[in-house]
């Protein structure tokens, strides 16, 4: 009782398979597989024949089949908060570099700070059978990531300190960074400071807020009075513009503004200027990330610098190590940020 199983839908002529190559070369299927994977086990003559057939048929091995059978995994996924943010692209560069060195490849995705998109990519990558993932979580709920890790998928938290023993992370001390930024503003005699922040579902927003509060309190100020917080929905230039508009509409604006990142600061400065306010005279501005154009802006932006590329490199290393033989234990790595003072805060000499 031989039945014909269903066939996959085909675009164009069927792709050549290993057995087509075998037939063309007049050898067995296993031999073709050998020239592909262990060429030294095959006689030069046969190898040449097979190679010719491969060339002739433009044979490209089917990765799904190979992975299904052999579990050969050299792909790593990264899910970043916002791929349009130079900070994250620089991190991605670091990741890619390290991965390429180890002959692995990166598949990149942007969650756009949306937990649902994040979940979609998490699942896609898992189904695809990646070696592991580097993720900048878009949500505070790390449970899905923990489960992933329990299921044997390598997970490294990126730009976010792991709250759990079981998860590796590579991050920068955002609390300290924000505190430095705000201390700087306080040292310039600002006593009420606006803070354009993103949703509290994003760790960076929580931590930078905490840093600000800490600095305010250390200076003997009451955060409820000294901090004017504006929450915007996306951490980019549009968000910054919206934030300033809201801030100015509310009247009695503070004399200084701390922005959760440089992109937001960029938008904020644009809006400030279009409202006729001078930076830093009418409003001092400090950003976060020290992206590459920060120093070149109309008013060079005071910002908090992070070892961006290193962040990516170390995260990739960690993942590779955790997935490799020996299964290294989870590690939490934290870098320290650095304040770069420029004209936008009025604090430059």
Partner DNA sequence: TTGAAAGCGCTAACAG
Partner DNA sequence: CTGTTAGCGCTTTCAA
Contact residues toward DNA (CB under 7 A) are 1-8, 14-15, 17-19, 27-34, 36-37, 41-43, 45-47, 59, 61-62, 65-66, 68-70, 72
Q: How far is the CB of 67 from DNA (least distance, A)?
A: 8
State the Cα–Cα distance between residues 306 and 283, nearest whole angstrom: 25
Dihedral Cα 215, 217, 221, 227, nearest 10 deg:
60
Position 323 contacts a second copy (CB under 8 A): yes
3-state SS string over 6-41? CCCCCCCCCCCCHHHHHHHHCCCHHHHHHHHHCHHH
Distance CA 123, CA 53 (A): 38
Other Cβ atoms closer than 10 A to 223:
16
CB of 297 to a second copy, least distance (A): 5
Residue 38 lies near a second copy (rule: CB under 8 A): no
Q: Output the six-digit token pair for 166.
A: 């079981």
With CB under 8 A as the rule, give the number of residues binding a second copy. Answer: 63
Instruction: Tell me which long-range contacts 146-149 makes (C-beta under 8 A, separation of at least 24).
Output: 148/122
Of 19, 43, 62, 189, the one binding a second copy (CB under 8 A) is 62
Spell out, one character per residue from 122 to 141, where the chain touches a second copy: x when CB under 8 A holds, - when not: -xx-xxxx------------
| One of 48, 52, 100, 219 touching a second copy (CB under 8 A) | 100
Give min distance, CB of 77 to a second copy, in A.
9
Q: Which of 63, 189, 219, 250 binds a second copy (CB under 8 A)?
A: 63
Q: What is the rounded distance in angstroms from the CA atom of residue 217 to the CA atom of residue 200?
A: 20
CA distance linking residue 123 with residue 139, whole number of Å: 16
Q: Are strands 256-259 and 284-286 parallel, antiparallel or unpaired?
A: parallel
Query: How far is residue 31's CA from residue 18's CA, in Å, rounded to a whole number?
Result: 10
- Residue 107 as a binder of a second copy (CB under 8 A): the answer is yes
Interacting residues toward a second copy by CB under 8 A = 8-13, 15, 58, 60-71, 75, 83-84, 86, 89-90, 92-93, 96, 100, 105-110, 117, 120-121, 123-124, 126-129, 147, 151-152, 154, 237, 266, 269-270, 292-293, 295-300, 323, 327
């Amino acid at each position: 009782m031989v039945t014909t199983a269903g066939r996959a839908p085909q675009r164009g002529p069927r792709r050549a398979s290993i057995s087509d190559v075998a037939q063309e070369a007049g050898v067995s299927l296993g031999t073709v597989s050998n020239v592909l994977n262990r060429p030294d086990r095959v006689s030069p003559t046969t190898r040449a024949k097979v190679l010719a057939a491969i060339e002739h048929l433009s044979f490209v091995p089917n990765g799904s089949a190979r992975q299904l059978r052999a579990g050969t995994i050299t792909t790593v996924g990264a899910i970043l908060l916002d791929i349009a943010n130079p900070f994250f692209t620089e991190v991605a560069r670091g990741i890619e570099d390290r991965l390429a060195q180890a002959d692995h490849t990166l598949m990149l995705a942007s969650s756009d700070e949306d937990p649902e998109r994040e979940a979609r990519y998490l699942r896609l990558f898992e189904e695809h059978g990646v070696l592991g993932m580097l993720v900048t979580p878009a949500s505070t709920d790390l449970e899905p990531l923990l489960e992933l890790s329990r299921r044997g998928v390598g997970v490294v938290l990126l730009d976010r300190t792991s709250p759990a023993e079981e998860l590796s992370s590579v991050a920068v001390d955002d609390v300290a960074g924000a505190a430095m930024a705000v201390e700087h503003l306080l040292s310039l005699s600002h006593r009420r400071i606006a803070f354009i922040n993103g949703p509290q579902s994003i760790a960076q927003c929580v931590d930078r807020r905490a840093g600000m509060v800490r600095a305010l309190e250390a200076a003997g100020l009451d955060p409820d009075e000294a901090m004017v917080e504006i929450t915007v929905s996306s951490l980019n230039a549009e968000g910054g513009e919206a934030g300033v508009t809201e801030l100015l509409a509310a009247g009695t604006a503070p004399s200084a503004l701390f922005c959760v990142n440089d992109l937001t600061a960029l938008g904020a400065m644009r809006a400030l200027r279009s409202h006729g306010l001078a930076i830093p005279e009418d409003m001092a501005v400090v950003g976060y990330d020290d992206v590459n154009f920060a120093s070149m802006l109309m008013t060079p932006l005071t910002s908090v610098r992070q070892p961006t590329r290193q962040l990516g490199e170390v995260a990739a290393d960690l993942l590779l190590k955790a997935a490799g033989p020996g299964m290294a234990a989870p590690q939490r790595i934290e870098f320290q940020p650095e304040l770069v003072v420029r004209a936008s805060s009025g604090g430059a000499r």
